[in-house]
A and B are shown apart, each in its own frame.
Chain A
Amino acid sequence: MTVSSPPVKLEKPPQNYLNWAFGIKSWLLTTDHKRIAILYLITVTLFFALGGLAASLVRFELITPQGDLMSADNYNKSFTLHGMLMVFFFLIPGIPAVMGNFLIPLMIGAKDLAFPRLNLASWYVFMVGGLFTMTVIVVGGVDTGWTFYTPYSSTYSNGAVILAALGIFAAGFASIFTAINFVVTIHKMRAPGLTWFRLPLFVWAHYATSIIILLGTPVLAITILMVGIERMFKIGIFDPALGGDPLLFQHLFWFYSHPAVYIMVLPSMGVISELITAFTRRRIFGYKAIALSSLAIALLGFLVWGHHMFVSGQSVYAGLVFSAITFMVAIPSAIKVFNWTATLFKGTISFTTPMLYALGFIGLFTIGGLTGLFLGAAAVDVHVTDTYFVVAHFHYVMVGATIMAYMGAIHFWWPKITGKLYNEGWGISSAIIIFVGFNLTFMPQFIMGYLGMPRRYYAYPDEFQIYHIASSAGAAILAFGYVLPLFYLLYSLFFGPKAGDNPWNAKGLEWTTASPPPHENFEETPIVTEEAYAYPVPQKAEVTSGA
């Protein structure tokens, strides 16, 4: 006799962008913005790791006052590589190309970005840029610093400069492609009912960022080309010996590279607005002020480049004007910080991993921003130019703000991207470790910079050693903090519990669709009927008197 068991009905998992198609080709030729975001995520993580490795070499060398771990030349190459990789291949594409790519269509209720193929092209062009930069390492590296100041870069430095410049040129075009896509998508593809002042602030921030990228990056591209032309054809543009002006390079370079700081930090500010509202369960305080301050930063950010040149020999009158406008940039930045703080007031705050990163951001960005005012004051700047004070300042803005927001974003939207939940305990630990490690690394640099320790030196007087040791110890803690999420996030990918569509109970169109989202993002085009962050207004607690 045979016993037949009832047929087991295997339930097919719901279709999503991850199981929509399989195989390496389906990834490398995808035009799905979500998959391209994942490609970018993997790539920028690799570049971040390489840039971090170069930073580790620098911090190792600086543990002792003597230059004993590597030669001065190799030290120069290490910090140049660190700067180049981190700025052009991690910080600038980081949040826009990964989080922006993934989230903007979801946040505005669209099926994809306006130009999906241009989006894929952007990643390929970015990879070509990365390839050039990797080749630079193989052929011996460059020692110009990430700023490529002329006439050193155009006349004296080795031949890899052109290769490095080409790498940055390509990476710049990748970000231009992304920016074009964002601008057109935000203008043309918003869901019905999603008016400009109902847009999530993340979208506003990316809109402002895209405008900066579109208006600034071509200037960098042409400047880099001119360095190449001068090197190869000896046409005098920047070299005084050929009739050029070296300061022209600095003008053009900083015309892009100062706004580039806002390319890095504006998307972070967009992230913070999302995190703060989700974890205080409150509508954002001063929505319009925050949205418009992003545009104000985009405009004012272009008018201050000369504050990088106070001691360069530029006209003192020009310095005066640049200094005055620099103080003005503080206003829209402060508007944001005050509004986030006001949102926290009387909010129902939950200290989750993304929220810890957001709170860390506010503190570190405030320190970074306020020390920027020290540097904007020309007289103080003369004292601390090219010292560790400057290094500490811009790391507080770029690492303290941008990477904190990047990490916060990864943790906040991880359940949406992967459909899985990570371990909250590990998440909170990593946020705290990164915050402690970061401050231990860069706070001593403010002090030694103010005391006169110059940047870009591989040997230094003994009196600075205590600060350098503290800084290197902090860097080790920081590195541990950055590696930790790699493990528990990957673990969650395979063994984590399912997240559900909206694990944070957050507002926003991206949370109304499945996790991970389906290939087309939404089964039906959503219709928006409420403003952003429409969290319920808390009821007043009833007070009952016992008497």
Chain B
Amino acid sequence: MTTEQHSTTHHVMPVRTYLIVFALLMVLLAATIGVAFLHLGPFNRIVALTIALAKAGLIMTYFMHLRYSSKLALVFAGMGFFWLVIMLLIGMGDYIARGTIPGTF
């Protein structure tokens, strides 16, 4: 607890890892563009969002060093994700039910 005990050891990642992750992100970008040309109906959005999630995951894990971070940093990152879910979930509540008029009791 307490006092000024910072963890001063930072995990140093080799440049190679960064390059591999970057290449993966480029592949996923190409996939996003490619999928946009296919007609998959409602699955277009699902695929696009899944790819986007994978990209975000890669960035958070490697570029933002979450993989080597303390549990506290993971908790805060998780909170950010949880809040995003709150926003989308409750926000979607409106979009799904908009325009429906309740019957009289």
A317 CB-CB contact with B under 8 Å: yes
Residues of chain B within 8 A of A315, CB atoms compared: 93-100
Total number of residue pairs linking A and B with CB closer than 8 Å: 64
A191 to B1, CA, bound (A): 10
Complex interface residues of chain B between 52 and 105 (CB less than 8 A to chain A): 72, 76, 79-80, 83, 86-87, 90-91, 93-102
B2 CB-CB contact with A under 8 Å: yes
A219 to B3, CA, bound (A): 34
A507 CB-CB contact with B under 8 Å: no
B101 engages A188 (CB within 8 Å): no
A313 to B80, CA, bound (A): 29
User: What's the least CB distance linking B82 to chain A, in Å?
Assistant: 9
B3 engages A303 (CB within 8 Å): no
A317 engages B5 (CB within 8 Å): no
A194 CB-CB contact with B under 8 Å: yes
A318 engages B101 (CB within 8 Å): no
A188 to B3, CA, bound (A): 7
Taking Cβ atoms with an 8 Å cutoff, the residues of B that contact A are 1-6, 72, 76, 79-80, 83, 86-87, 90-91, 93-102
A317 engages B93 (CB within 8 Å): yes
Closest to A319 in B: B94
A251 CB-CB contact with B under 8 Å: yes
Residues of chain A within 8 A of B5, CB atoms compared: 188
From A211, A247, A316, give the contact of B102 (CB < 8 A): A316
Residues of chain B within 8 A of A306, CB atoms compared: 90, 94
In the complex, 26 of the A-B residue pairs with CB atoms within 8 angstroms, ordered by the A residue number, are: A188-B4, A188-B5, A189-B3, A189-B4, A190-B2, A190-B3, A191-B2, A191-B3, A192-B2, A192-B3, A214-B76, A214-B80, A215-B80, A247-B94, A306-B94, A314-B94, A315-B93, A315-B94, A315-B95, A315-B98, A316-B101, A316-B102, A317-B93, A317-B97, A321-B90, A525-B3
A317 to B101, CA, bound (A): 9
Residues of chain A within 8 A of B4, CB atoms compared: 110, 188-189
A321 to B96, CA, bound (A): 14
A255 to B83, CA, bound (A): 10
A215 engages B2 (CB within 8 Å): no
Residues of chain A within 8 A of B76, CB atoms compared: 183, 214
Residues of chain B within 8 A of A316, CB atoms compared: 97, 100-102
User: What's the least CB distance linking B75 to chain A, in Å?
Assistant: 10
Residues of chain B within 8 A of A214, CB atoms compared: 76, 80
B100 engages A317 (CB within 8 Å): yes
Supply 19 further A-B pairs (C-beta < 8 A) apart from A190-B1, A191-B3, A247-B94: A110-B4, A183-B76, A188-B5, A189-B4, A190-B2, A191-B2, A194-B2, A211-B79, A214-B80, A215-B79, A215-B80, A302-B83, A303-B90, A306-B90, A315-B94, A315-B97, A315-B98, A315-B99, A321-B90
Known A318-B93, A321-B93: A255·B99 in contact at CB below 8 Å:
no
A302 engages B2 (CB within 8 Å): no
A193 to B96, CA, bound (A): 52
Complex interface residues of chain A between 158 and 213 (CB less than 8 A to chain B): 183, 187-195, 211
User: What's the least CB distance linking A172 to chain B, in Å?
Assistant: 16
B86 engages A303 (CB within 8 Å): yes
A84 to B99, CA, bound (A): 33
Complex interface residues of chain A between 296 and 336 (CB less than 8 A to chain B): 302-303, 306, 313-318, 321
Known A188-B4, A190-B2, A191-B3: A313·B98 in contact at CB below 8 Å:
yes
User: What's the least CB distance linking B64 to chain A, in Å?
Assistant: 14
What 9 A-B pairs have minimum CB-CB distances, sorted nearest first?
A: A315-B97, A318-B94, A315-B98, A317-B97, A215-B83, A190-B2, A315-B94, A318-B93, A314-B94
Most buried by B among A110, A192, A316: A316
Closest to A215 in B: B83
Closest to A321 in B: B93
Closest to B3 in A: A192
